[in-house]
Chains A and B, each alone.
Chain A
């Protein structure tokens, strides 16, 4: 009886190790949300392994990427500031979140609510709002950018695109 139990235990342990190894070694599912960022700092994005929560595209570059951090530390990632604004629109905690955007002029993470946004930039989802740290004649602030996205006044809208770019 003892011998049978020993064999059974060995088989069970081997199966347990096999299941754990198979699970750990399998290709990672894309990251959608990261928990525990209570310091509300910008997190490094694992490129090609992180999903934009709004458009579900894999994030391939940090250029124009954005992050939203909820007060409880949950962090979501976006490939375009436009996706971030659209996703955030329906969230009950939208006023309490910390927003980070990766700038195209200084190439670093800054507070998305203080950033300036171009209106004719090339962005992943073609909304056209490239985040900048420095203001210029063509940039708008966060509130204006938000309003334009709610109204559909983005480069993704053919009518508005034609009006803005003349094509």
Chain B
């Protein structure tokens, strides 16, 4: 892909006065296209995406075979999509890595939503399919390691999570219901890479949080906050699934009141 750095060198000849080459129009047109194209690429491609572009042809070929055998029934031989599944043109390597890497794809059966399942492929196979899909048409790539570290700002991340994510995933990442049997899954145990990929690709019913919306640093902060919440010991004791007042009320009725009724029965029991 041409880079904007080449522009100044090729622009100089066209500025000369009095000499107008017959190729000037063509060069100008080409320049314009290069400029538009490269700036478009600069603004749309995730900065993380460029890292994973260097895929070997071998891997792409392996991925194509795997794709034809496992995915093409629904997504089409050329990623064009069928009635059973959407097109994969432009979804990028991140989407493949997320969907296959969390076991959501291949789909076991149709339903409101693809549930998380045991992963069906090895790391290499998933990488190969991701390479293949990315080679057909570009899209968000697998994120760079530096944004997957849990060294960001947890305070900021938690605030961003509350504003952008908590309405579906619950403030503690415990998940929540959506309409018609769909749901936002619980986030505990999800790897930083998959969290990042979910934000960039917007799987299932999730909206896309692109880099203009949440910068890679924002995403890293969110991952930091989630991982902190997951790994830090609960200060108040067992968390009852972090589900809030429903779990607390159920516990109070079943175990609290159960214990109290048992004690009243004991207190009023006649001594033998």
A joins B in a complex: no
List the interface of chain A (C-beta within 8 A of B).
none
